[in-house]
């Protein structure tokens, strides 16, 4: 986001980013479901590493005032099926229902709304189709983020997930080391929005996350993340994704609280989203990191 972007637009950015924990790929009617399809659905599915150049796991935000932004996607969703019905629960606290069509599924009913408690905003998905092949899933999303200034359209044309499986692999290894927030090759990265007591409704203060983190291993499924202010945070790891565990943590030394924090790593870069609260001056303010990007120091 450029320095001249009106602050009021940031609400749409935050809502759309955290909306896109679900999406859809148009899976044609592959015929009636069969018992052989059953094991392919149940379980946890993570977005793969976002790739802006390939437009994979990258959402596109478009607002009525002409503002547009690309938003890398990350996070997990849990699939649970019962006959031809599929229920998907996301790490944003949303629950969506589908009708299965062989190896695909379509949102049913076709328009569903979720109030995201992480960011305090709602959004409606008008289309979400899923296709599954083994441990790979593809999806595309069409939806609207509901904002005070009007609805912003969000699309995810090429979402991809992989199913998390139990294995002997050390999932934590890809996260270890020293990392810095960097936006030199990713326009719009590291957007951070702040809202403080007394600020006008719907108006956020735009900013950019700076500094970095140092990540060490607690176990094959857990990491310790120390931010530059010396605060330690613990995250659970499953596949390529790590999320805050326990789900809310506070650092007394800096009076910072994290209510949500997700990371996806391929060992070369980390995509990250976070929300919480910290003191700005003497005021306790809510902070959302919308498009975090970390690279090795």
Q: Please give the residue range of the domain that contains residue 274.
A: 171-296
Q: What is the pTM of this model?
A: 0.84
Statement to judge: residues 196 and 227 lie in one domain: yes
Q: Is 181 contained in some domain?
A: yes
| The domain boundary residue, chosen from 140, 163, 186 | 163
Residue 94 lies in a domain: yes
Query: For residue 33, what pLDDT band results from cuts at 50, 70 and 90?
Result: very low
Yes or no: say if 123 and 116 are a contact pair by the CB < 8 Å rule.
yes
Residues 225 and 82 in one domain: no
pLDDT the model gives residue 202: 66
* β-bridge partners, 284: 279
Percent of the chain's residues with pLDDT above 90: 58
Same-domain check for residues 15 and 158: yes
pLDDT at 119: 65
Residue 94: C-alpha distances to residues 15, 78, 115, 156 (Å): 13, 11, 8, 17
217: tokens are 């291993």
| 123 and 197 in a common domain | no
Number of domains in the chain: 2
Q: Which of 130, 163, 196 is the last residue of a domain?
A: 163
Helix (H) / strand (E) element for 244: namely strand 241-244
| Of the ranges 29-43, 140-154, 192-206, the best mean pLDDT one | 140-154
151 and 206 assigned to the same domain: no
- Is residue 1 domain-resident? no
User: How buried is residue 129: exposed, middle or buried, by Cβ count under 10 Å (0-12/13-18/19+)?
Assistant: buried
In CATH, what number is assigned to the domain containing residue 251? Answer: 2.40.128
Q: Could you tell me if residue 28 is inside a domain?
A: yes
Question: Looking at 104, 133, 163, which one is the last position of a domain?
Answer: 163
Cα separation, 263 vs 261, whole angstroms: 7
φ, ψ for residue 211 (rounded to 5)? 85, -145
Per-residue model confidence (pLDDT) at position 13? 40
Q: Beta partners for 98?
A: 86, 107
Q: Is the pLDDT of residue 178 over 80?
A: yes
């Amino acid at each position: 986001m450029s320095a001249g972007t009106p602050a009021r637009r940031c609400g749409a950015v935050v809502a759309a980013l955290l909306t896109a924990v679900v999406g859809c790929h148009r899976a044609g009617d592959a015929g009636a479901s069969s018992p052989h399809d059953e094991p392919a659905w149940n379980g946890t599915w993570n977005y793969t590493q976002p790739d802006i150049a390939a437009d994979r796991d990258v959402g596109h935000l478009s607002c009525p005032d002409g503002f547009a932004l690309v938003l890398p996607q990350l996070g997990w969703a849990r699939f649970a099926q019962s006959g031809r019905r599929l229920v998907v629960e996301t790490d944003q606290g949303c629950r969506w229902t589908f009708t299965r069509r062989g190896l695909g599924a379509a949102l049913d009913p076709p328009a569903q709304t979720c109030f995201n408690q992480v960011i305090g905003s709602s959004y409606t998905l008008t289309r979400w189709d899923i296709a599954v092949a083994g441990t790979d899933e593809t999806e595309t999303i069409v939806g609207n983020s509901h904002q005070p200034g009007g609805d912003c359209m969000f699309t995810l044309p090429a979402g991809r997930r992989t199913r998390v499986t139990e294995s002997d692999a050390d999932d934590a290894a890809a996260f270890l080391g020293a990392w810095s927030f960097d936006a030199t090759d990713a326009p719009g990265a590291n957007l951070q929005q702040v809202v403080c007591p007394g600020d006008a409704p719907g108006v956020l203060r735009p900013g950019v996350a700076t500094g970095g983190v140092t990540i060490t291993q607690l176990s094959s499924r857990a990491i310790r993340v120390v931010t530059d202010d010396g605060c330690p945070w613990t995250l659970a790891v499953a596949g390529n994704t790590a999320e805050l565990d326990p789900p809310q943590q506070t650092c007394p030394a800096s009076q910072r609280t994290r209510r949500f924090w997700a990371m996806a790593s391929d060992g070369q870069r980390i995509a990250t989203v976070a929300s919480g609260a910290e003191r700005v001056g003497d005021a306790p303010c809510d902070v959302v990191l919308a498009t975090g990007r970390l690279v090795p120091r």
